Amino acid sequence: MDPIRIAEAREKDLPVILDMILGLAEYEKLTHIVTATEDSLRDTLFGGKPAAEVLLAYWEDQPAGFALHFPNYSSFLAQPGIFLEDLFVKPHLRGRGIGMALLGRLAAIAKERGCGHMEWGVLDWNEPSIRFYKNLGAEPMDEWTKYRLDGEALNRLARRSSGSA
């Protein structure tokens, strides 16, 4: 029997999801920006309009990793896609095929949904992940720079468009 099991997360899994998010933030040295709580995750993942979905990986029935993803769209392909926001495997369980199992299930979901691509980002210092992704056949999109607008900059821009339709 395969020790790896992949399952779609349910509301009862909120403590596990938050634990995975905190583990990822620690690995990426970003714990100082985490504001997620079980309540905020409940609202955004399992509320009336879920913003994302989560796959949980189990190793011998113990939580081992997760993949948080949401739909995106390619106008050039005229096809939906999947954006992988987070992929994390607990450090003591790495190298056992858990990340591969999560990505494999996500690729299967992409195909089931008629998606033409999957995309994600990786920190430039994360060499183990970069090697892993390249070994899958993933191509870095070096000619693209990812931008983010949040916090006060997002508020400022939103105020600029107030009153326009």
The confidence score (pLDDT) of residue 165 equals 46
How far is C-alpha 29 from the chain's CA centre? Answer: 17
Report the pLDDT value the prediction gives residue 94, as an integer from 0 to 100: 95
pLDDT number for residue 55? 98
pLDDT for res 163: 60
pLDDT for 137: 93
Residue 80 makes CB contacts below 8 A (sequence gap 6+) with 71, 72, 73, 74, 113, 114, 115, 116
**For the chain, what are the domain ranges?**
4-160
pLDDT at 106: 98
Query: For this structure, is 133 an active site residue?
Result: yes
Extract the residue ranges of the chain whose pLDDT is less than 50. Answer: 165
Pairing of strands 53-59, 117-120: unpaired
What the block records as the tokens of 70 is: 């949401």
Collapse the DSSP code of 79 into the 3-class scheme (helix H, G, I; strand E, B; otherwise coil) and give the result.
strand
Q: Which of 27, 58, 73, 133 is catalytic?
A: 133
Q: Is 122 helix (H, G, I), strand (E, B) or coil?
A: coil
57 touches 4 (CB < 8 A)? yes
> Could you read off the pLDDT of 75-120 as tens digits, one per residue?
999 999 999 999 999 999 999 999 999 999 999 999 999 999 999 9
Is the pTM value of this prediction over 0.75? yes
Q: What is the pLDDT of residue 134?
A: 94
Q: Which CATH class is domain 4-160?
A: alpha beta
